[in-house]
Amino acid sequence: MDRFRCILLYLAAGRGPEREMTLVVEGEEPFYWTALKPVTCYGYPADPRYGLEAPPLVRFRVDGEGGWLEACDFELDRRPLDRVRLFSSGDGGRRFHSFRFVWAADGRRVRFEIDGRVEAVAELAAKRLSVRGGDGGRAFHALWSKQGHGWDESLLEAFDRVPEALPGKPFWRPVPKLPPAMRLYCTGSLYFGLVTFWLAAGLAGARYLRFEQALFGWIALRCANRILQCFANPYRLLAERVDPEFRPPEGEEQLKYRNRTVTRCLVYILLAVFGLCDFVPGWIPWAVMVAIHYAPFAPMMLAALGILTPGMRKLEKLARTTPYQWEVREKLTRSHLPKVPFFASVLRRHFAGKKVVIGVSERFGGEREYDEAAEVVTAPLAELAEEAGVTVEFVPDGLTAAKLDASFAGHDDAACFFSFGAGWRAWTGTELWKRPPGSRPAVFVCEAGAMEFKEVFAAIRDGRLAGAGIEALKLPHLDLASLLPEELKRVGDDGENRRGEEIAPLLPVDSGNVDAVIALLVQSGLGTFRPLLRPEVPAADNARTIR
C-alpha cells in the first residue's frame, strides 16, 4: 500500500458497470492499475508554490476510444480545454505497466511518461499540448494549441531550466525582468503606510502638529496610496513581469470592488483634511470614519439587538432549511437554475413592460416547504425580470397537455407562457394551442429536441410559437454557439460568463434569427432543412449574415 500513499481514489457519479473510476495523483508518484472500466487520473504538482499561480490541471483518461492526455480547469466535470490522443482502442489499445506526471520546478510545465518514455508534454502557461506520434485533433478552446499538437523536442529542455522568481519573494531581492524604477515603486507602495506612520509620529512628537492632526494627515496619505494601488497594484505588476501569461480576472465584480474602494478612500481623505485643518470639531470626522468602516457589520450588530435586515432574514431562513428542502434545492439547482439566464435573456429582449407566466414544477404551489426551497430558482429569476421591467407570475408546471391547460388557465392577460419542464409535444396537445394565435398568450418552449426542429421552426415562422430554446451545438461543421447572445456565452464558447454561474447551452430561436439558424444547419450539410430556406435568399447569403 505504500505505492498508493499519494493517491485519492473514489468512484465518480454513475450507475451500473460503466461507472467511471477516478483517481488523483500528486507529484511524480508512479501508478499501476488494471483497467476494467473507464479511468480518469488527475495530476497535481507536489509543490506549495503551485497555489500562487493556479494554472490549469492535466488528466490522463482511458475510455472506449483510447487514451488521452487532457488539460482542464478546476471545475473537473467540464469538458477539457485541450486534449491529445496517446493511443487508440481501434489499434488494439496499448499495454503498459505504469505512468506518471513529471512536473517542472515552477509547476507550469508537465510531461507525461508511460513506462519511463515521454509521450506528451503540456505547457500550461503557454496553453499548449504536444504529443509524440499521436493524434491531437482540434483544441476545444480557441486560446489553446494555436500552432497544433505536433511533437517539439525543445519542450523537454524547459524542465532543466531554473524557474524564475515567484510573486512571493520580497521586492528588494533581485527579480528578473523588473526594472529598478518599478522595484522602487513596488517597495515604496507596500511600505508606504509604515514609513509615513512613523513620520507622522515624529512630527507630533516634535510638536509641529497635534497628535490628532498628525493622525489625520497619515490617514489621508495612506488612503491616497491605496487609491494608487487600485490602478497600479504592485503585486500585479510583479506577477505580469514574472509570468507574461498572467491574466488576472477583470470582470464586473472586480470593477465594482475597485470603485467601492476608491469611493471610500476619497471620503476618508475628505474627512481627514477637514480634521487636519480644523474645519470641524475633531470628533466629527472620527465618528463618520468609524461609521463607514463598521457599516458592513451593522446587520450583525442589529441582529444582536433583535432587528433583522433583509439579508439577515435570508440567512436565518437558510439556517432553518430542512433536509427535504436541501434535497429540493439541490435538484432544482441542477435542472432549473442553469436555465435562469436563458429565461432572463428572452424576457429582456421580447417582453419588457409585459406580464409573463412561468411554470416551475408540478409540485410548486402545493406546500409551503417546497415553495420556499424553490426560491433558489424563482428568486433570482424574479430579480432579473424586475431589472428588465417584466412582471412574472409563477404557477405549477405540467408535463402533459391536460396539466398545462389546468396550470395556465385563467391567465389570458399574460403576454407569454413559459414552462421549465414541458416540451413541444406537450404544448401542441393543449386546448390553449388550438386557439388562434391572436386570441391567446404567446408560447415559448424552453427546450426543443433535434427531431422537433422542423416543426418548431415552421411554427415560429407562422407566428403560432413565440420562440424555442435549442441546444447550441458546437461541432466541426456546425457552430450554433456563435449565435448565442453575449450574456449566454459560457467559458469555452469563445466568450466569458460575466456572472460566473452555470448556464444551460440553449440558443433562443425566434422570428428574428430563425432564418439564420436554418441557413447554418443547411450550410453544415443537413439538407433536411433546405425546404425551410427562404426562396429569395440563398443559404450562403443567410450564413454570411450571422458571421
Is position 458 within any domain?
yes
In a domain, 192, yes or no: yes
**Residue 421 CB neighbours (<10 A):** 17
Residue 263 domain flag: yes
**Residue 331 belongs to a domain:** no
Among 69-83, 378-392, 461-475, which is the least confidently predicted range? 69-83
Range of the domain at 141: 2-160
Q: Are residues 72 and 191 in the same domain?
A: no
Scored b (16 or more CB within 10 A) or e, 99-122 reads bbbbbbebbbbbbbbbeeebbbbb
In this prediction, residues 242-270 reach a mean pLDDT of 77
Of 104, 131, 160, the one marking the end of a domain is: 160
For residue 179, is pLDDT > 60?
yes
Question: Does 128 share its domain with 210?
Answer: no
Residues 26 and 145 in one domain: yes
User: Residue for cell digits 441546444?
Assistant: 471
Say what percent of the chain tops pLDDT 70: 73
- 116 lies in the same domain as 265: no
CB 509 within 8 A of CB 470: yes
- How many domains are there within the chain? 3
- Looking at per-residue pLDDT, the higher value among 491 and 256 belongs to 256
Is 350 within a domain? Answer: yes
Residue 106 pLDDT level (bands cut at 50, 70, 90) = low
Span of 126-130, 146-150, 185-189 with lowest mean pLDDT: 146-150
For residue 96, the model assigns a pLDDT of 67
pLDDT of residue 76: 59
Closest CA to 257 of 236, 237, 233, 230: 230
Distance CA 544, CA 547 (A): 5
Same domain flag for 151 and 201: no
Q: Which of 40-44, 105-109, 185-189, 248-252 has the lowest mean pLDDT?
A: 248-252
Mean pLDDT of 228-239: 82
Output the pLDDT for position 547. Answer: 33
pLDDT digits (tens, 9 = 90+) for 349-408: 888 899 999 999 888 888 888 888 888 889 889 998 998 899 999 998 888 888 888 888
pLDDT of residue 23: 47
Residue 165 in any domain: the answer is no
- Residue positions counted in the chain: 547
Query: Does residue 232 have a pLDDT over 70?
Result: yes
How far apart CA 268 and CA 260 sit, in angstroms, is 12
Q: Are residues 156 and 191 in the same domain?
A: no
pLDDT of residue 54 exceeding 70 = no
Question: What is the average per-residue pLDDT within 153-163?
Answer: 65
pLDDT confidence bin for 46, thresholds 50/70/90: low
326 in a domain, yes or no?
Answer: no
- Chain segment 474-520, per-residue pLDDT in tens: 666 777 878 888 777 754 433 334 344 567 778 888 888 888 888 88
Window from 35-39, 73-77, 294-298, 395-399 with minimum mean pLDDT = 35-39
Q: Are 261 and 226 in contact (CB under 8 A)?
A: yes
For residues 235 and 367, membership in a common domain is answered with no
CB 138 within 8 A of CB 91: no
Average pLDDT, the chain: 76
**b/e sequence 139-151, b meaning 16+ C-beta within 10 Å:** bbbeebbeeebee
Query: Which of 450, 439, 403 is closest to 422 using CA atoms?
Result: 403
pTM over the 0.75 mark: no
pLDDT band at residue 22 under the 50/70/90 scheme: very low
Do 380 and 486 share a domain, yes or no?
A: yes
CA distance 360 to 446: 12
380: domain CATH number is 3.40.50.2300
The pLDDT of 302-314, averaged and rounded, is 81
- Looking at the structure, tell me whether residues 185 and 125 fall in a common domain: no
3 state DSSP class of 508: strand
Domain termination residue (choose one: 293, 312, 344): 293
pLDDT at 68 over 60: yes
Q: Is the pLDDT of residue 338 over 80?
A: yes
Domain membership flag for residue 356: yes
148 and 204 together in one domain:
no
Same domain assignment for residues 199 and 117: no
pLDDT of residue 393: 92
**Residues 236, 148 share a domain:** no
